[in-house]
Amino acid sequence: MLAGRGRLPNEPGVYRFRDGRGRVLYVGRATQLRSRVGSYWSDLGDRRHLVRMVAAVAAVEALVCDSVHEAAWLERNVLEHRKPRWNRIRGGTETPVYLGLSGSSTAPGLRLSYDAGEFGPYLGSQRVRLALSGLHRIRPLQYTGSRLTGAERDFAEKRGVTAADREALAADLAAILARDPEAVGRARADLTALRDRAAATLAFEVAGQVQEELEALDWVTAPQRATSLEPDDFTAAGWSGGVLLTLTVRAGRIIDWTQRACGERAAAPHLAATPPGWTGYVQRNAELAAALTTAGAGTAVVPRRRSAPTAVPR
């Protein structure tokens, strides 16, 4: 059993295993880091091909994320940057998508796109389509246009919306997709009420569909900074207990992280160069890195031999 894994939090995140020579063996993501990492030392189930890898694991490193969606993006980015030996694929299997919002009088509404759009990016086109369906239920912007068909006019009447509601609905949808807490809270409350009303009238199929839409809305509106629409390049650093943790961001994506032994004075310039909005995020992960290192479960310094450095497996 890997020492110190109990210091991993049961929160979403990305983990990586290193062998005794400091080489990265595997990168994975977790809904709950502690239980996921611990599962490698219990019944591997359909992951029996990893038995030999587990025997070689000497250390675990991890980044805690603010949501499962963020963990999915972070794993994808890291694996696109460098694929360790025991990972089967480079990147991820979910499809990146975007949402566009139009408040025009002729074609108002939200639309999914595979090209860069106003909101996103999001992973998992099916989840995003479900979120879109839920938002159409509670914020029917598409029925406020000036070129509605007869059926669409009937739907607009049933939903109680007219062209006069267009601006307010568009603004509310924009606030929801911008992750405004109050707007998201109202949207969740409205979907929850629809689900409960459907269940109360024994319309369980509808209630189940709305529940899926509610979960998809949570996916779309959850905190997610591993991949951004802003094409920024920078590094963000945190220091704790003699360990300096550094995130590498390229074109708005976290593509890698490193951790090494470092004195507080030497760490100061790196901390000063960290964008203010990233300080808390990277500091929390520096504290985790230090805790794992102290427990013997993580490596603050990747061992180096006197000969040419060992290449990280690709």
More confident residue, 193 or 46: 193
Mean pLDDT value of segment 126-134: 97
pLDDT at 260: 95
Task: pLDDT band for 314, please (50, 70, 90 cuts).
Answer: very low
Say yes or no to pLDDT of 124 above 80.
Answer: yes
pLDDT at 296: 59
Break the chain into its structural domains and give their ranges.
Answer: 5-66+228-294, 96-221
Q: List, in sequence order, every beta strand (DSSP E) within the chain.
A: 13-18, 24-30, 59-64, 96-102, 109-113, 119-123, 234-240, 243-250, 253-261
pLDDT at 3: 58
pLDDT in tens, 104-114: 999 999 999 99
Task: pLDDT band for 312, please (50, 70, 90 cuts).
Answer: very low
Say yes or no to pLDDT of 89 above 50.
Answer: yes
pLDDT at 299: 43
Residue 178: strand, helix, or coil: coil
Burial (0-12, 13-18, 19+ Cβ within 10 Å), 71: buried
Indicate the angle between helix axes 181-200 and 125-138, nearest 10 degrees: 80
Residues of the chain with pLDDT > 90, as a percent, come to 82
More confident residue, 119 or 299: 119
Mean residue pLDDT across the chain: 90
Say yes or no to pLDDT of 180 above 60.
Answer: yes
pLDDT at 44: 74
Residues 6+ apart with CB under 8 A from 39: none
Task: pLDDT band for 117, please (50, 70, 90 cuts).
Answer: confident
pLDDT in tens, 254-267: 999 999 999 999 99
What are phi and psi for residue 244, nearest 5 degrees? Answer: -100, 120
pLDDT in tens, 56-79: 999 999 999 999 999 999 999 999
Residues of the chain with pLDDT > 70, as a percent, come to 92
Where do we find the tokens 């983990």? Answer: 15
Say yes or no to pLDDT of 4 above 70.
Answer: no
Say yes or no to pLDDT of 243 above 70.
Answer: yes
Task: pLDDT band for 232, please (50, 70, 90 cuts).
Answer: very high
Q: Which of 49-53, 187-191, 269-273 has the lowest mean pLDDT?
A: 49-53
Model-wide pTM > 0.75: yes
CB atoms within 10 A of CB 95: 12
Mean pLDDT value of segment 81-103: 91
Classify residue 4 as left (phi > 0), alpha (psi -120 to 50) or beta: left
pLDDT at 104: 94
Say yes or no to pLDDT of 311 above 70.
Answer: no
Paired residues of 259 in beta bridges: 245
Task: pLDDT band for 178, please (50, 70, 90 cuts).
Answer: very high
Say yes or no to pLDDT of 184 above 80.
Answer: yes
Q: Report the C-alpha gap between 180 and 176 in whole angstroms.
A: 6
CB atoms within 10 A of CB 287: 17
